[in-house]
Structure 1
Amino acid sequence: MHAIVSGLFALFPRRRALLVLSLLGALMLSGCANNQSRPQEPPPPDLSQLAHEAAAQMMAGNPALTRYSPMIAATFVSIDNLTTSSTFGRISSEIMASALAQQGMQVREVKMRDSMFIEENVGELILSRQVQRLSSQSNARSILMGTYAQGQDYIYVSTRVVRAGDAMVLATADFKLAIDNNVLSLLEGQGGW
């Protein structure tokens, strides 16, 4: 650094050398400031954020969806075995139902009803043959259903609202969630209610 300063004074008169040094100093400081003030990349979206975006997408795709209220929510199940779920499947269903309720759907809470069978360690599983029976027991006009598949880096979720009378799909949305330790913990959780 001393050699650079001496060289500048040798090349330029004293005032110009000071001006050049000042400019160099300002450039160096601005470079440091730019390195420190670079915006950090936002964290990847979490399950709640993705579910709320999916609910908004469902409502945008079918603005008349609220006509099919009340809705009940089934536990999301593993695509590899439609009779099993996990803590991830149960909380995904709960968060999606909450997000749809915030979008205007009336959601009927089925865990409070004795008439709907809740299988221990699984939740409110709904297979196609059960749709009419369960919807009539809870007087629901629609049912929130979903499946998920675990990949290496992501978990893929497919969710839909179906009409209770004939299982016709009224709205659908899909999203993928990066797998981290928190998601792995939810996938491994098989505990009951």
Structure 2
Amino acid sequence: MRLSLPFKSQLPGLAASSRLLFLIVMTLLLVGCAALGNNNTARNAEPKPGLSELAHQAAAQMVANNPDVTRYNPMIAATFVSIDNLSQSSTFGRISSEIMASALAQQGMQVREVKMRDSMFIEETVGELILSRQVQRLSAQHNARSILMGTYAQGQDYLYVSARVVRVGDAMVLGSADFQLPLDNNLRSLLEGQGGW
């Protein structure tokens, strides 16, 4: 009898310990499943918009804010330049100008194709727009009434782009839009080949 009493008194303790262990294991399993669920949600999240999508949104915004911008046809496009050195561009500057011109064409702008040995630049000094003689000559040659131009700035985590359509006659900004892109390895590679063009 004396032997059975300690044994019986240990059974409830074992049962309580087992229940506690079971609850701990179940809690850990639920936390693990929730973490897996969050990882799947992150994987299934839509990717952030890229250059092409943002350029098309910017073009639509330009025209929506000033529908008269499309009256200043035809337009020629200048290469986008680095805000830190307006005599430099990059692969990014060239492709962003091309994509933006294409996006504006889809919004109703008549875009004249101007291909030269060197890319076309707009010079800026102290924030004032100065149309170079070359650009004025090209505008006259192609009967252009407006020019697409833009600048970009590289930050730590983002690349900031500012695009605008400028009237040739008096350098007035007809439409503008800004956007930013997360700075990833793809963008860094497009920015690497900086050089005057």
Q: Which TM bucket (shorter chain)? A: 0.7 to 0.9
Is residue 2:68 matched to residue 1:64?
yes
Structure 1 position 70, deviation (Å): 0.5
| Aligned partners of 1:118 and 1:124 also within 8 Å | no
Query: Residue 129 of structure 1 corresponds to which residue in structure 2?
Result: 131
Number of residue equivalences: 168
Q: Report the equivalent of 1:163.
A: 167
Deviation digits for residues 18-52 of structure 1 (CA, Å, limit 9, x no counterpart) = xxxxxxxxxx8xx8797687473221110001100
Larger radius of gyration: 2
Which letter maps to 1:139?
Answer: N
Counterpart pick for 1:182 among 175, 180, 186: 186
Letter in 1 for 2:102: S
Deviates more, 1:178-187 or 1:36-45: 36-45
Cα distance per residue 1:78-136 (max 9 Å; x no partner)? 0111111000000000000000001111100001xxxxx543xxx21122231433311
Q: 1:191, CA displacement in angstroms?
A: 7.9
The residue identity in structure 2 corresponding to 1:44 is K
Letter in 2 for 1:82: L
Compared with structure 1, are the counterparts of its residues 160 and 37 closer, same or farther at alpha carbon in structure 2 (3 Å cutoff)?
same
Contact 1:87 1:191 in 2 (8 A): no
CA contact (8 A) 2:89 2:195 kept: no
- Matched position secondary structure for 1:64: helix
1:85 to 89, 103, 108: 89
The separation in 2 between residues aligned to 1:164 and 1:35, in whole angstroms, is 53
Amino acid at match of 1:160: R
Q: Is the 8 A contact 2:89 2:196 kept in 1?
A: no
- Percent identity between the two aligned chains: 71
- 1:9-158 matches, within 5 Å, as 38=41, 40-111=44-115, 118-119=117-118, 123-127=119-123, 128-130=130-132, 131-158=135-162
* Distance change (3 Å), C-alpha of 1:36 and 1:93: closer
Runs of 5+ unmatched residues, structure 1: 8-27, 112-116
Aligned residues of 1:76 and 1:147 also touching (Cα < 8 A): yes
Does the 8 Å contact 2:87/2:196 carry over to 1? no
Classify 1:135/1:34 alpha carbon distance in 2 versus 1 (closer, same or farther; 3 Å): same
Q: How far off its partner does 1:137 sit?
A: 2.4
RMSD: 3.0
Specify the SS of the correspondent of 2:67.
coil
Q: TM-score, normalised by structure 2?
A: 0.73
Q: CA deviation at 1:153?
A: 0.5
How far apart are 1:192 and its partner, in Å?
A: 9.5
